[in-house]
């Protein structure tokens, strides 16, 4: 009788310990995610903001100082000689455009988004002459015509209020896909030639805090959900979702995702790793480590050796390179930014293999420590 009672107490305590451990890990992950994303919602103006081009051959940086308060969270590039670089300037409500030929020949132009007081351009992508971006503050999707500079905005028409719009990508058919981080949706925007448009929102248990989006094809859209601790794929034809939450680490925070060759690759900020999923079978490889606080992600070469570039949001602030030749042959390289302590955000690879990334100096608040002597 005593043995049975002891066994019951042992099992009860064991289950409670496991539950407490999972709760603590979940809270830690939530805090880590909040830390990563808090800058996008904070009001302090960053001390400085930058756009960088990293030349991996010479390991040198070209630096463009952005206007005060820009707070860039993304970057998109197209073309070569010159390269066109597009930057959403979240803090000053405008889109920046750099035409870059070389370090001595470049031109910077800005396009204000003036329809609302706080549009908050957040993430960006380019499709032909259309520069698409999310307006996190205004809950809109914007489209800049690169030839005329005109901006058209899309909102309502099926889009949930305060959706927390994050990443944005365009499928070959022209449909625009957006992550709605706050409303937990994957959103499709279809615009007709007559400029009529409508949004469609997809929901699923794996779309919690969805942030990153990647297009495999017109039929398959991948996304990263840090709050659900997994990545998954939407079948656009039937609306089904492929994912296996049990195969991901319950404390992982996948945030950015890209498609390269036969794999979907993602950054796991919490576990300091680059993740890999086989597209055909959804087989999940062991995370590749160590990648110090990987955030933004871009692919240079989808074929072996696969080369991925990512931004490191560690104390130093750096751009990292991951090279994958085979499951047993991988390597990591890290290149510190010219200024220490920056928060690097978006990253993109140009046709000439120049690595473009944005960064800013976050405002850090230090509270005084009050020492109280014991009067006794």
Give the torsion sign (CA, 200, 206, 210, 211): negative
pLDDT tens string 327-373: 999 999 999 999 999 999 999 999 999 999 999 998 654 444 444 44
If DSSP codes are grouped into helix, strand and coil, which group holds residue 226?
Answer: helix
Q: Which two tokens stand for residue 290?
A: 């160590």
CATH topology for the 48-361 domain: Methylamine Dehydrogenase; Chain H (2.130.10)
Q: What is the pTM of this model?
A: 0.87
Bigger pLDDT: 280 vs 213: 213
Looking at residue 366, its pLDDT comes to 42
**Do residues 228 and 209 make contact, with C-beta atoms less than 8 angstroms apart?**
yes
Bigger pLDDT: 322 vs 23: 322
Going from N- to C-terminal start, the domains of the chain cover 48-361
**Do residues 307 and 56 make contact, with C-beta atoms less than 8 angstroms apart?**
no
Q: Which helix (H) or strand (E) holds 152?
A: strand 151-154
288: nearest Cα among 325, 243, 255: 325
Q: Does the structure show a pLDDT above 80 at 213? A: yes
Q: Does the structure show a pLDDT above 80 at 151? A: yes
Q: How confident is the model at residue 193 (pLDDT cuts 50, 70, 90)?
A: confident
Q: CA-CA distance, 197 to 330, in Å (whole number)?
A: 45
333: nearest Cα among 358, 352, 354, 307: 307
pLDDT tens string 54-81: 999 999 999 999 999 999 999 999 998 8
Q: Does the structure show a pLDDT above 60 at 34? A: no
Checking phi first, is residue 51 left (phi over 0); if not, alpha (psi -120 to 50) or beta? Answer: beta
């Amino acid at each position: 009788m005593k043995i049975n009672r002891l066994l019951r107490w042992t099992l009860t305590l064991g289950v409670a310990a496991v539950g407490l451990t999972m709760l603590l890990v979940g809270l830690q992950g939530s805090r880590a995610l909040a830390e990563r994303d808090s800058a996008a919602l904070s009001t302090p103006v960053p001390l400085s903001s930058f756009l960088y081009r990293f030349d991996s051959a010479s390991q040198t940086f070209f630096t463009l100082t952005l206007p005060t308060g820009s707070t860039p969270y993304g970057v998109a590039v197209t073309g070569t000689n010159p390269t066109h670089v597009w930057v959403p300037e979240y803090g000053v409500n405008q889109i920046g455009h750099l035409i870059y030929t070389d370090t001595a020949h470049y031109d910077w132009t800005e396009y204000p988004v003036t329809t609302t007081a706080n549009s908050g351009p957040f993430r960006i992508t380019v499709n032909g002459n259309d520069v698409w971006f999310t307006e996190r503050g205004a809950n809109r999707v914007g489209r800049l015509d690169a030839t005329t500079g005109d901006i058209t905005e899309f909102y309502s028409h099926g889009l949930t209020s305060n959706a927390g719009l994050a990443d944005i990508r365009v499928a070959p058919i022209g449909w625009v896909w957006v992550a709605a981080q706050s409303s937990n949706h994957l959103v499709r925007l279809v615009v007709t030639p007559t400029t009529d448009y409508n949004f469609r929102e997809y929901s699923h248990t794996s779309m919690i805090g969805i942030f990153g989006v990647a297009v495999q094809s017109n039929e398959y859209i991948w996304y990263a959900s840090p709050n659900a601790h997994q990545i998954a794929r939407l079948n656009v034809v039937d609306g089904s979702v492929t994912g296996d939450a049990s195969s991901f680490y319950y404390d992982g925070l996948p945030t950015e995702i890209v498609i390269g060759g036969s794999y979907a690759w993602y950054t796991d900020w919490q576990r300091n790793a680059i993740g890999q999923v086989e597209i055909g079978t959804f087989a999940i490889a062991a995370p590749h480590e160590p990648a110090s606080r990987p955030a933004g992600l871009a692919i240079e070469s989808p074929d072996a050796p696969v080369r991925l570039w990512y931004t490191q949001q560690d104390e130093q602030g750096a751009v990292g390179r991951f090279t994958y030749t085979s499951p047993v042959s991988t390597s990591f390289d890290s290149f510190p930014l010219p200024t220490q302590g920056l928060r690097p955000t978006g990253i993109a690879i140009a046709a000439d293999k120049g690595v473009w990334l944005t960064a800013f100096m976050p405002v850090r608040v230090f509270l005084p420590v009050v020492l109280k002597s014991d009067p006794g």
